[in-house]
């Protein structure tokens, strides 16, 4: 093994560890992808996670400077095809191998920048934020899944955006308390979380359900290497969404809803059976 390959493997191990440490749900779903595409998705998640940490966690530091440096280092890594930051080195490898559109990366980093300044969104700002923070992540992954098949990418693009949006909006509902009380953020437009009503919650849920419905059709047409892993992630978030729907509005303002580990195992087992029976 040459030294550069060794460095790439070390870097990719960092991205894999980052994913597993921060999200057991996503890492479990990634392990259900074909082995050929698991690592590139780990590489994308590691990049996304580090950027998100800057704006959400690094309190007491100059977040703006840190994010600006991270952004510059990202583009430098992609251009040079190397970075001493192992997360960025593994990410640039995936970006360059699969020719991921740089506009997606720019949109993602822009949404991270919004988190540093915006605390409340109107509808246009909300849509812009959802696109950059979530939909483009789905599109980056779709570049990997399609592996150069541009026609397939264009066909599945709307569904990938919808799935990313559904995941993000469910996260917003799940994390209402932490976002509002801890970070003073109000993502959903037109909502007063000091008086979050059942009607507010139902309107949000109608919007999310449409995203899930639109995403499902695209999942069925994914390449075989990616279909099962994406389907399991979809089912996990759909289960979380259904659990949230059963609760009163004020309840989700008081606690963070989650699916227990045994519930996740059941989702995987049931999805595996449906896959074997070809009835996803």
For the cut 50, the answer to whether the pLDDT of residue 220 exceeds it is yes
User: What's the chain's average pLDDT?
Assistant: 88
| Residue of 106, 128, 131, 107 lying closest to 118 (CA atoms) | 128
Domain ranges of the chain: 3-276
At 147 the pLDDT is: 95
186 pLDDT tier (thresholds 50, 70, 90): confident
pTM for the predicted model, two decimal places: 0.89
Q: Minimum mean pLDDT among 20-34, 142-156, 160-174: which range?
A: 20-34
Q: Which long-range contacts (CB under 8 A, 24 or more apart) does 81-87 make?
A: 86/10, 86/11, 86/14, 86/15, 87/11, 87/14, 87/15, 87/18, 87/46, 87/47, 87/50
CATH 3.60.15.10 fits 3-276, yes or no: no
> What is the percent of the chain where pLDDT is above 70?
86
Which comes out higher in pLDDT, residue 247 or 140? 140
For the cut 60, the answer to whether the pLDDT of residue 280 exceeds it is no
At 261 the pLDDT is: 60
For the cut 50, the answer to whether the pLDDT of residue 277 exceeds it is no
Q: Minimum mean pLDDT among 72-81, 97-106, 120-129, 264-273: which range?
A: 264-273
Report CA 240 to chain centroid distance, whole Å. Answer: 15
Q: Which long-range contacts (CB under 8 A, 24 or more apart) does 229-234 make?
A: 229/29, 229/30, 229/31, 229/32, 229/33, 230/29, 230/33, 230/145, 230/163, 231/271, 231/275, 231/280, 232/28, 232/29, 232/32, 232/267, 232/268, 232/271, 233/25, 233/26, 233/29, 233/167, 234/163
At 270 the pLDDT is: 58
């Amino acid at each position: 093994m040459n030294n550069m390959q060794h460095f790439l493997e070390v870097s990719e191990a960092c991205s894999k560890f980052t994913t597993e440490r921060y999200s057991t749900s996503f890492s479990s779903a990634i392990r259900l992808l074909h082995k050929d595409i698991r690592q590139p998705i780990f590489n994308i998640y590691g990049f996304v996670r580090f950027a998100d940490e800057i704006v959400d966690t690094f309190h007491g530091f100059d977040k703006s400077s840190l994010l600006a440096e991270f952004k510059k280092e990202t583009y430098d890594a992609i251009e040079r095809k190397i970075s001493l930051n192992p997360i960025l080195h593994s990410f640039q490898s995936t970006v360059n191998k699969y020719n991921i559109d740089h506009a997606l990366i720019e949109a993602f980093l822009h949404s991270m920048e919004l988190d540093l300044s915006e605390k409340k969104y109107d509808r246009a700002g909300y849509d812009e934020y959802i696109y950059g923070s979530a939909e483009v992540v789905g599109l980056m992954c779709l570049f990997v899944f399609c592996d150069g098949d541009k026609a397939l990418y264009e066909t599945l693009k709307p569904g990938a955006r919808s799935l990313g949006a559904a995941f993000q909006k469910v996260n917003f509902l799940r994390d209402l308390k932490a976002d509002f009380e801890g970070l003073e953020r109000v993502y959903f437009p037109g909502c007063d979380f000091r008086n979050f009503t059942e009607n507010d919650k139902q309107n949000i849920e109608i919007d999310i359900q449409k995203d899930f419905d639109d995403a499902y059709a695209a999942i069925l047409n994914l390449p075989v290497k990616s279909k099962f892993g994406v389907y399991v992630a979809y089912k996990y978030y759909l289960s979380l969404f259904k659990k949230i729907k059963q609760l009163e509005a004020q309840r989700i303002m008081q606690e963070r809803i989650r699916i227990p580990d045994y519930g996740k195992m059941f989702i995987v087992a049931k999805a595996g059976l449906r896959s074997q029976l070809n009835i996803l």
